[in-house]
Amino acid sequence: EAEVAQSPRYKITEKSQAVAFWCDPISGHATLYWYRQILGQGPELLVQFQDESVVDDSQLPKDRFSAERLKGVDSTLKIQPAELGDSAMYLCASSLSGTPYEQYFGPGTRLTVT
């Protein structure tokens, strides 16, 4: 069964350093989502892509976060510089175009900023 892949699974970094996460959606899924899940809370949408275009990045802290999906397939989420408050699980999900109600989630990247 096809799955959303994410790497790394765990990342520890010092504050003020740069960090990047990678996501490979299910083949054929044109829509890709990045969520942030703070411990004890539900996931919150950071950015949504339709193919290579950003559809919604209203909750993305653009002063330090950036996301790209250059060829409309895999995607990278970057944080520079990392802050202590960025410690969280970063989830990637994907769906077929036009079916946001059928999102498939990856295993996530757990980020710890020290």
Q: According to CB under 8 A, which one of 12, 15, 51, 56 is a site residue for another protein?
A: 56
Only one of the segments 12-20, 21-29, 42-50, 75-83 lies at the binding site for another protein (rule: CB under 8 A); that segment is: 42-50
Question: Is 102:94 a contact under the CB 8 Å cutoff?
Answer: no
**# of chain residues touching another protein (CB under 8 A):** 18
Reported as half-sphere exposure (CB side, CA atoms, 13 A), residue 63 has a value of 2
Among 1, 42, 70, 71, indicate the residue that binds another protein (CB under 8 A). 42
Determine the number of helices (DSSP H) and then strands (DSSP E) in the chain. Answer: 0, 11
Measured from the CB atom, the residue of 43 and 69 that comes closer to another protein is 43
| Calpha distance 44→91 (Å, rounded) | 9
C-beta of 105: minimal distance to another protein in Å? 4
Residue 98 contacts another protein per CB under 8 A: no
Cα–Cα distance, 74 to 114 (Å, whole number): 28
Q: What is the nearest approach in angstroms of another protein to the Cβ of residue 106?
A: 6
In what helix (H) or strand (E) does residue 12 lie, and over which residues does it extend?
A: strand 10-13
Q: Smallest distance, Å, CB 103 to another protein?
A: 7
